[in-house]
Amino acid sequence: MTAPLNVDGPAAPPRSNGELVFAEPWESRAFGMAVALHEAGAFAWPRFQAALISRIRAWEDGRSADEAWDYYRLWLAALEDVLTEQDVVRADEVTTRARTLDGRPAGHDHGDHGGDHHDHHNHHDHDDHDRPH
């Protein structure tokens, strides 16, 4: 089962030359999470599309002149709507997790690797100089 992504219409994801466009890493993760949860049977895709269209309409109807368009924030909000509606996750769990993630330093968008709180650059060895050849 794959998610039918409309090429046209109000719920269509941003594209450039037919390819999906993500401005930030979290956007692609939010996109992938929705598709994976749908494919796992957590919700029907038409229900998600309806929630996304509803979020887009509400944004269009209630936005202020200085409020910027942010498709993937609406995508994520629609995903939260569907998951809480389907009792996959409780609304308070979403709020708690969002606050936790919001409190992390800017630019650090992955886990803490088992509780080791060392600097990112010191935690990973990206060089091969220590490995025997």
pLDDT tens per residue across span 15-29: 888 889 999 999 999
Report pLDDT for 76: 92
The answer for residues whose C-beta is within 8 angstroms of residue 30's C-beta and 6 or more apart is 72, 75, 76, 79
Instruction: Say whether pLDDT at 82 is over 50.
Output: yes
Could you tell me which residue, 26 or 115, shows the higher pLDDT?
Answer: 26
Residues 48 and 35: their CA atoms lie apart, in Å, by 10
Could you tell me which residue, 42 or 119, shows the higher pLDDT?
Answer: 42
Q: Over range 114-123, report the average pLDDT.
A: 44
CA 40 from centre of chain: 17
Instruction: Say whether pLDDT at 129 is over 50.
Output: no
Taking all residues of the chain, what is their mean pLDDT, rounded to a whole number? 76
Task: List C-alpha distances in Å: 95 to 5, 25, 53.
Answer: 27, 20, 22
Could you tell me which residue, 121 or 33, shows the higher pLDDT?
Answer: 33
pTM listed for this prediction? 0.66
Report pLDDT for 126: 43
Structure-token pair, residue 52:
């996304």
Report pLDDT for 120: 42
Q: Over range 112-128, report the average pLDDT.
A: 44
Q: Looking up tokens 């969002």, which residue turns up? A: 98
Residue 19 one-letter amino acid: E
Report pLDDT for 69: 85
